[in-house]
């Protein structure tokens, strides 16, 4: 059954998550296709007047935010090579996606965009009721943020073809089986058409 797409743009935020240059280069092959879709989504959202939020992973020198009990982030802490993904130009939001002057940037130190950040405060302050999510990776930030957003009673959408994961089978299972039970799954083209009418 087709989803009837409509957005109250003044109460909707789009979250582009972990779309940092180094991660895009690893997960997107070729990067141009992903970047074209993601850029079209962000451009449509900005033109419509939606709140655009970029979520990025970042750490202080020495990674004091990371506990050795955290399996994923402890592996980053022990690897200077992995840390490099989140530093300098590699750790910056991909320049084809932003940030634009009116965009908001949230830096996180865990998988979910909510954990330990002021994202929830920003969404409340801007009276956001609907969140539209995409990013890298499907089984990481997208999954964790979607579950937390739904538990906080946000209406949630995931833009399927703007999500990337190195495990194709897991990506497909989440997009096709789990995510539709928590929110609505749409394509970049469907989102742009709903927002712009084209």
- Planar angle of CA 172, 174, 179, nearest 5 degrees: 130
- Check if the beta carbon of residue 175 is closer than 8 Å to that of residue 45: no
Indicate the helix (H) or strand (E) that contains 184.
strand 184-186
pLDDT at residue number 87: 77
Name which CATH class applies to 9-196: alpha beta
- What do you get for the CA distance between the two ends of the chain, in Å? 21
Tens place of pLDDT for every residue, the chain, 198 residues? Answer: 456 688 999 999 999 999 999 999 999 989 999 999 999 999 999 999 999 999 999 877 877 777 888 887 777 777 777 766 777 888 899 999 999 999 999 999 999 999 999 999 999 999 999 999 999 999 999 999 999 999 999 999 999 999 999 999 999 999 999 999 999 999 999 999 999 987
pLDDT value of position 3: 60
CB 107 within 8 A of CB 142: no
Q: Rounded CA gap, 164 and 161, in Å?
A: 8
| Residue length of the chain | 198
- pLDDT, position 1: 43
- Pairing, β 51-57 against β 155-164: unpaired
Looking at residue 198, what is its pLDDT? 79
pTM for the whole structure: 0.92
Q: Say if residue 90 is preceded by a cis peptide, omega within 30 of 0.
A: no
Residues 114, 67, 87, 32, CA torsion sign: negative
């Amino acid at each position: 059954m087709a989803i009837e797409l409509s957005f109250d743009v003044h109460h909707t935020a789009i979250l582009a998550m972990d779309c940092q240059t180094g991660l895009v280069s690893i997960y997107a092959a070729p990067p141009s296709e992903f970047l074209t879709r993601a850029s079209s989504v962000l451009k449509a959202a900005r033109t419509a007047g939606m709140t655009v939020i970029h979520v990025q992973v970042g750490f202080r020198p020495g990674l004091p935010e990371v506990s050795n009990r955290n399996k994923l982030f402890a592996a980053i802490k022990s690897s200077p090579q992995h840390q490099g993904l989140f530093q300098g130009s590699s750790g910056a939001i991909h320049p084809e996606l932003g940030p634009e002057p009116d965009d908001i940037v949230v830096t996180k130190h865990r998988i979910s965009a909510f954990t330990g950040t002021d994202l929830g405060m920003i969404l409340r302050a801007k009276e956001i009721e609907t969140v539209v999510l995409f990013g890298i990776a499907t089984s990481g930030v997208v999954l964790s943020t979607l579950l937390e957003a739904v538990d906080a009673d946000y209406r949630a959408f995931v833009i399927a073809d703007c999500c990337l994961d190195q495990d194709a089978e897991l990506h497909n299972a989440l997009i096709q089986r789990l995510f539709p039970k928590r929110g609505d799954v749409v394509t970049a083209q469907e989102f742009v058409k709903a927002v712009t009418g084209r």
